Amino acid sequence: MKEKDFSSHPIRLFASYYKPHMRLFLLDMACALIACGADLVFPYVTRYTLNSLLPDRLFRLFFAIMGILAAAYVVKAVCKFIITYLGHLMGVRLEADMRTDILTHIQTLSFSFFDRNRTGVLMSRITNDLFSITELSHHGPENLMTSLVTILGAFAILCTICWPLACVILAVVPLFIIFTVHWNGKMDQANAEVKKSLGEINASIESGISGIRTAKAFANETAEADKFRQANDMFKDAKKNWYKTMGIYHAGIDSTMSLMQVLTITVGGFFIMRDRMDYVDLITFSLYVSTFVRPITQLADFIETFTDGMTGFKRFRELMNTRPEIEDRPGAEELKDVTGDVEYRDVSFSYDSGVPVLEHVSFTLPHGKTLAVVGPSGGGKTTLCQLLPRFYDVTDGAVLLDGRDVRDVTQQSLHRAIGIIQQDVFVFADTIRENIRYGRPDATDEEIVAAAMRAEIHEEIMAMPDGYDTFVGERGVMLSGGQKQRLSIARVFLKNPPVLILDEATSALDSVTEKHIQASLDELARGRTGIIIAHRLSTVKNADLIAVVEDEHIVELGPREELLAKNGAFAKLWQAQDLT
């Protein structure tokens, strides 16, 4: 399938989503036309009946025509069912396609994007912004087509009955158009504010639920409720403005419609007084005015649906046009047969603020060796490690893996070559088996068990109620900190990468659990190139090299005994932790 151009005009982009569902779309439109035709026929048959059939006592033909008309309305009922069921089904499929596109695209965005955007706001853009797409994608084209066909058809028939009166009715239409265009813009602005405030509410809810344990621990439930109340008040104000604008809009539309009926009776009555029209024609004309008015009301509803849907779609398009700050270079190659030689060559890095985080960092780490990165908090240790898998790109210099600049290889192949274990392990709300399998989705059950045994968590898993099929709860709340950490180690065993990054993997654990986990980590690190970030220096005794990071620089680099002999920065850290 041809890839969509998200920079194209919103209407053209929106229309492109109909292509995979064209059969449903055409069936929906055909049924809408049939239903529209039945509505146009009824007033004309009524006029023919009152003028010809009943006065001429053609009763048999009268009942035959009534039977045909009844059958037509049965067909119309079937069409309405198809429109309601299959039409909405088509709309849901379009919405689902867009939601798949946006979630897939978000997965490609860089870490810096998530640094700047709250989870709840993104959730709102994936869910609420696209919710109205179902109604727009279904009712939008259908209402637009049937409204135009009905208006043109009804006006053509009105002209055959009494063209001067038809022209009077037509004169009101420009007033409707001017009013609609003016207030449509105001509704668009008001609706955008509603969606923005709804995103803030979702962000507040997400934050409140995720941090409920912390809020309770600090007795801050009231403070969290106040934060939500502020976001909720913003939403109420935005909704108030939206409903006020909508009220003026609908009141104006209703007044225009009523004016058409008053004009019909007034001008029609005048024509009857002048013998230029009879009562049957006025009744028929009035029926057709109702038929003429209904699609105008439909058009007004369409504009409201269009405004709501396109506001969400524009926000969808805006997000889809957000490009990853880190992308594969043209011609980037797959990284294969990685041995694990790592080199940082005069690396400097700063975030968007321009404040330097690392400056002129250089070191070489041969494959199979381990580098421990130590130093005070905020010194740039984690950032240094995140440059290797290209979670961020260096500002200057280069990071090399097996002699190749990591910017010259595909991110997928780079990430496959690197295993990462962090202090805060993310555990999915799924079974233990599926959480371990996340390390390699095509792994067999036997391979999962083998990885768990190497991570020394197999026996604990088997002691659980459902073994490997035990559900661990949201973010793994059913597991202890040590169990979550060993589960993450099992994932990396399953992945079997040549390069390993341990980002303070045991700093949140107690000393007993840490020693137990350390044995698993030592087993995992054997034969791999490893970079270890640690606050507890006892965990890096066996590292081949130690780098002390302070004030954006590596101030010391070398084996442990050599650094202790220098009696410099590392020696002070060692003594501070009473490890002499």
What local confidence, expressed as pLDDT, does residue 219 receive?
A: 65
Instruction: Calculate the dihedral angle through the C-alpha atoms of 122, 125, 127, 131, rounding to the nearest 10 degrees.
Output: 170
DSSP string, 161-207: HHHHHHHHHHHHHHHHHHHHHHHHHHHHHHHHHHHHHHHHHHHHHHH
What local confidence, expressed as pLDDT, does residue 213 receive?
A: 60
342-576 has which fold? Rossmann fold (3.40.50)
Give the pLDDT confidence of 70-118 residue by residue, as tens digits: 888 899 899 889 988 888 888 888 888 888 888 888 888 877 787 777 7
User: Please, which residues have CB within 8 angstroms of residue 85's CB and are 6 or more apart in sequence?
Assistant: none
What are the strands, taking DSSP E only, across 259-390? 342-350, 356-365, 370-374
What local confidence, expressed as pLDDT, does residue 1 receive?
A: 43
Architecture of domain 10-320: Up-down Bundle (1.20)
What local confidence, expressed as pLDDT, does residue 344 receive?
A: 93
Take residue 545 and report the two structure tokens written for it: 């090299």
CA dist., res. 462 & res. 173, Å (int): 75
What local confidence, expressed as pLDDT, does residue 398 receive?
A: 93
Is the Cβ–Cβ distance between 284 and 207 less than 8 Å? no
Give the pLDDT confidence of 295-304 residue by residue, as tens digits: 776 776 777 7
Take residue 204 and report the two structure tokens written for it: 């507040």
Phi-psi group of 398: left, alpha or beta (phi > 0 → left; psi -120 to 50 → alpha; rest → beta): beta
Q: Where are the domains of the chain?
A: 10-320, 342-576
CA dist., res. 317 & res. 566, Å (int): 58
Take residue 441 and report the two structure tokens written for it: 């989705």
What local confidence, expressed as pLDDT, does residue 170 receive?
A: 77
User: Please, which residues have CB within 8 angstroms of residue 419's CB and are 6 or more apart in sequence?
Assistant: 492, 495, 496, 497, 499, 500, 501, 528
Is the Cβ–Cβ distance between 424 and 504 less than 8 Å? no
CA dist., res. 172 & res. 263, Å (int): 9
**For the chain, which residues score pLDDT lower than 70?**
1-3, 206, 210, 213-220, 297, 300, 353, 505-514, 516, 578-580
User: Would you say the C-alpha torsion 538, 543, 549, 555 has a positive or negative sign?
Assistant: positive
DSSP structure class, residue 497: -
Where does 333-390 have alpha helices with state H? 381-386
What local confidence, expressed as pLDDT, does residue 526 receive?
A: 82
